[in-house]
Structure 1
Amino acid sequence: MPARPAILILSHLAMLAAGFAAGIYVLPILTALPGASAGQLQAVSQQARYSGTFRKDLPGSDALHWASGRLHVSANALAFEGSVAPGPDYRIYLAPTFVDNEAAFLQIKDRSLQVAELKTFGNFTVALPAGVDPAQYAAVVIWCERFGQFIGAAGYR
Structure 2
Amino acid sequence: MRSVLGRPAGVAVVAVVVVAAVVGLYWFQPWKIWQDETVREALPGTSVGAAPSGGAAASPSAAPSGPSASASPSTPAGPAKLAAGELISHEHKTSGTVRLLRLPDGSHTVRLENLDTSNGPDLRVWLTDAPVKEGRAGWHVFDDGAYVSLGKLKGNKGDQNYALPAGVDPARYSSVTIWCDRFDVSFGAAELIRA
**What TM-score, normalized to structure 2?**
0.56
Which whole-Å deviations, capped at 9, do the CAs of 1:13-58 have from their partners, x for residues lacking one? 9xx79xx59x8232476584x4133x33695x942211111023xx
Confirm or deny that 1:51 pairs with 2:84: yes
* Partner Cα separation in structure 2 for residue 29 and residue 112 of structure 1: 30
* Partner Cα separation in structure 2 for residue 30 and residue 155 of structure 1: 28
Alignment of 1:81-96 (within 5 A): 81=113, 82-96=115-129
* Partner Cα separation in structure 2 for residue 31 and residue 46 of structure 1: 29
Contact 1:28 1:88 in 2 (8 A): no
Of 19, 22, 43, which residue of structure 2 is paired with 1:40? 43
Contact 1:41 1:124 in 2 (8 A): no
Match of 2:111 in 1: 79
Of 142, 158, 163, which residue of structure 2 is paired with 1:127? 163
Identity of paired residues, percent? Answer: 26
Of 104, 126, 131, which residue of structure 2 is paired with 1:98? 131
**What TM-score, normalized to structure 1?**
0.68
Alignment size in residue pairs: 130
Gaps of 5+ in 2: 1-16, 47-77, 103-107
Stretch of structure 1 that moved more, 134-143 or 94-103? 94-103
SS of equivalent residue, structure 2 residue 29: helix
* Partner Cα separation in structure 2 for residue 36 and residue 128 of structure 1: 19
Match of 2:94 in 1: 67
Distance change (3 Å), C-alpha of 1:69 and 1:132: same
**CA RMSD of superposed structures (Å):** 3.1
Match of 1:152 in 2: 188
Match of 2:73 in 1: none
**Amino acid corresponding to residue 67 of structure 1 in structure 2:** T
Match of 2:144 in 1: 107
* Partner Cα separation in structure 2 for residue 55 and residue 128 of structure 1: 22
More helix by share: 1
**Amino acid corresponding to residue 180 of structure 2 in structure 1:** C
Of 24, 27, 30, which residue of structure 2 is paired with 1:25? 30
Contact 2:130 2:144 in 1 (8 A): no
Gaps of 5+ in 1: 1-12
